[in-house]
Chains A and B, each alone.
Chain A
Amino acid sequence: MRKTDRTTRTTRTAPGSAGKAGLGELERAVMDVLWDLGPDADATVREVHGRLSEGRDVAYTTVMTVMDRLARKGVVVQQKEGRAYRYRAQATRAEMTADLMRDTLADLGSSERAPALVAFVEDASAEDLAALRKALAALES
């Protein structure tokens, strides 16, 4: 227990920005493993750690921390099965992408939005498009 704590702490206080960026990158790697299992398939931390260890040097407790974070964010679902926790992706990558895009498009389409994103084009109507084509034709000449 004590050893676990210490390892977790050293992971969290890893040097500067590299530690934080590393965590985000690991979250992504964990999700890739879960998504590769296929829809609704689940895995334990040990299984995910096994897959990740093939390509990198990563501590078991680090993977556990990352998966715990993902569970708290609601991106993965944690379920107790016997003595171990099993984890699965809450949605497929395509579903998550669609959700994100829906939020983004709704945000860009609203007039009273906070400028969280700065987009290349906001929403246009059919009349706008016609006017835009005309303006573009003037640009060519």
Chain B
Amino acid sequence: MTGVDLTPLVLGALAVALAGPVPALMARASRLHLTPFAAMTLWQAVALAAVLAALGAGLSLATGQTLREEPGPVGGVVAVLALTVTLVVAARLLLSGHRVGTSLRTLRREHREQVDLVAGRHDDLHVLEHDVPVAYCLPGVAHSRVVVSAATLEHLEPAQLDAVLAHERAHLAARHDLVLEAFTVLHRAFPRWVSSDAALREVQLLVEILADRAALKVGRAHDLGAALLAMAHGRVPAGSMGASGSDLVERVRVLADRRPRRAQGVALVLASWAVLVLPTALVVQPWLASLG
């Protein structure tokens, strides 16, 4: 290759854009919630592309310096620095992945064991004798549980309860916990100087919207919305800062607007594809070829 090699620069700029401004913009575009599946695909593609671009930028900078005709001392220092930064990024991700994975598995196992000891059984439902309404699922490969409190069974009408249970089972069937885990890993690895917080919050909301949509296959939107209100109502005293509560309002807004948006869905999936494939084809491929 002749002239200055732009590969590290392009990949670096891409990594910065995909880690900061792009997720920040996406988090503000609430219309993405109306095509939750496509939006989820895009979030995952952007996160993956950001990590790959960051690693690629460091590696290509290092190889670019060492493979020169006459590698000077400055080039050597740059190469070592670039390689170090790459390794730090990779190590932080791996460490964070290990920590989050281990702590989640421990928390879930302990919680499951306690639920199994104290909860009553209604078919495959675990019921806790308690007067605060809750409904949640404990994800796991072979040991998943859907747990509700007695208050939930009392407060909800049968159709509402069916909708809530369908919602929780959709989380388990689609393994939404894996997506949440991946974005938690990303957020714990790079809590600052990366919009991983916005990404995590959006993905949490999208997961709920996806489960809501799945619940609509067995129940009416109004039953699900009424269940949301009833459950939230029983829980108000517990939290003083209801920042996450606006998610509830957004979920009902999305429930009300279910017109199919094929164009937006297709556009988002194409964008997901582009963000992963184009940098590989246009930047990484020539770089790898130049190494050979």
Q: Is the interface of A mostly helix, strand, loop or mixed?
A: helix
B10 at the interface (CB under 8 A from A): no
Q: Does A81 contact B (CB under 8 A)?
A: no
Q: Which residues of B contact A120 (CB under 8 A)?
A: 134-136, 164, 167-168, 227-228, 231
Are B113 and A135 in touch, CB under 8 angstroms? Answer: no
**Most B-side CB within 10 Å, residue of A116, A117, A122, A136:** A116
- From the candidates A27, A109, A121, A138, name the one contacting B231 in the complex (CB within 8 A): A121
Taking the nearest CB of chain B, how far is it from the CB of A127, in angstroms? 7
Q: List the count of A-B residue pairs having beta carbons below 8 Å apart.
A: 167
A interface bracket (residues with beta carbon within 8 Å of B): 35 or more
* Pair A132/B252 contact, Cβ less than 8 Å: yes
Chain A: which residue is nearest B201 at the CB level? A111
Q: Give B279 Cβ to nearest chain A Cβ, in Å.
A: 29
Interface flags, A103-133, vs B, CB<8A=1, else 0: 1110011010011111111111111110111
B142 adjacent to A116 (CB under 8 Å)? no
Which residues from chain B contact A114 at a C-beta distance below 8 Å?
A: 100, 103-104, 107, 184
**B interface SS class:** helix
**Is A41 in the interface zone, CB < 8 Å from B?**
no
A27–B115 CA distance with the chains assembled, in angstroms: 12
Contacting residues, chain B, for A22 (C-beta < 8 A): none
- Nearest-neighbour CB distance to chain B for A126, whole angstroms, equals 6
Q: Considering only CB atoms and an 8 Å cut-off, how many residues of chain B contact the other chain?
A: 64
A84 sits at the interface (CB 8 A) = no
Asked if B56 lies at the interface with its beta carbon under 8 angstroms from chain A, I say: no
Select one of B114, B221, B244 contacting A96, CB under 8 A.
B114
For A128, give its contact among B138, B180, B226, B232 (CB under 8 Å): B232
In the complex, whether B248 has a CB less than 8 A from a CB of chain A is yes
How long is the Cα–Cα vector from A129 to B222 in the complex, in angstroms? Answer: 16
Decide yes or no: A123 and B235 within 8 Å by CB, A24-B113, A104-B136 being known contacts. yes
**CB-CB < 8 A to A28: which residues of B?**
116-117
